[in-house]
Amino acid sequence: MPQYRWRKSTYCQEGEACVHISTTPTAIHLTDRPEPPHPVLTLTPAAFRVLLHALKARQLTPR
């Protein structure tokens, strides 16, 4: 398993409900907890931009 350098989101609330991110030149890795075993979502930088755009658009939409 690759070694990632995880950073916790600055939007994290208290507790463990956080997003952790690790970047490489060719990929963005996301997980909900940095300790293995854990699922890791790996995206290209372009796919990560699309994800962020979609999340921001949803945040602005009334429910």
2 inside domain: no
Binned at pLDDT 50, 70 and 90, residue 28 comes out as very high
| Distance between CA atoms of residues 62 and 38, nearest Å | 33
The total number of structural domains in the chain stands at: 1
What Rg do the C-alpha atoms of the chain give, in angstroms? 13
> What pLDDT does 59 receive?
72
Query: Residue 1 falls within a domain, yes or no?
Result: no
Domain assignment present for 50 = yes
Indicate the pTM of the whole model.
Answer: 0.76
Pairing label, strands 27-31, 41-43: antiparallel
Q: Quick one: pLDDT at residue 4? A: 85
**For 13-24, what is each residue's pLDDT tens digit?**
766 678 899 999
Structural domain of 29: 7-60
